[in-house]
Amino acid sequence: MSIINDKNKDIISGIEKLFDTSFRITDNSIILDIRNEVTHYKIHLEMFPDDVKGDEENYLVSVYTNNCHLQLQNCKRIIISQMLEEIIFISETSDKISGLIVSKRGDCSLYSNVDKDVLSKDFSELNSEKLLSAVALSVSEEIPD
C-alpha cells in the first residue's frame, strides 16, 4: 500500500507548495524538513498513516523543533492556509477539538482538548487563554451551506 494516494495527494502537494519544499517518502511516513536560514529555525514534520483502524486519512503527526516535540494523534483533517501561511492538523471528537499548527515563519502551536462550543462563542467574553485557542482553531469550523 502506498502512503501517497488519491485521497491525500492534493493535501501533500498543497503543503509542499506552502513551504516551498518537497516531502521525503519512507515506507511508513511522510517527512518534511523546513528550514529558514535567516531566522535559523528548523522544523522536522512527520506524518504517519494510522493503520490501527485501517483508515488512510487518519494520521499521527509529529513535529520536532529546536525547542520541543509536539505530537497529534488521530488527525483526520488538514487545513492549508496560504493567507496565514500555516497548516493546521485537526483531531476531533463530537465535543472536543485539538489542533497542531505549523507556520511558514517557524512557529508551532498545539491546542488540545478544546471544547468545540468555545469556537462559536463571542470572543469578547473569553479570557485571554481561551481566546488564543478559539481564534487559532476557529478556522476549522465548517461553514453551513
Q: Which sequence spans correspond to the domains of the chain? A: 9-140
- Give the pLDDT score at 145: 41
Residue 129's SS3 state is helix
pTM of the model: 0.88
What secondary structure letter does DSSP report for 144? P
Ordered DSSP codes for 28-71: S-EEEEEEETTTTEEEEEEEEE-TTTT-TT-EEEEEE-SS-EEE
- For residue 145, how far is the Cα from the chain centroid? 25
Backbone angles phi and psi of 93, in degrees to 5 = -120, -170
Mean pLDDT of 47-57: 69
Is it the case that residue 55 has pLDDT exceeding 70?
A: no
Distance separating alpha carbons of residues 142 and 3, to the nearest angstrom? 27
- What confidence category does residue 132 fall into, taking pLDDT thresholds of 50, 70 and 90? confident
pLDDT in tens, 63-77: 999 889 999 999 999
Q: Of 50, 72, 69, give the one whose Cα is nearest residue 59.
A: 50
Q: Find out whether 100 and 117 touch, Cβ atoms under 8 Å.
A: no
Residues in contact with 21: Cβ distance below 8 Å, sequence separation at least 6, in sequence order: 32, 33, 34
Distance separating alpha carbons of residues 144 and 141, to the nearest angstrom? 9
Each residue of 20-29: b (16+ CB within 10 Å) or e? eeebeeeeeb
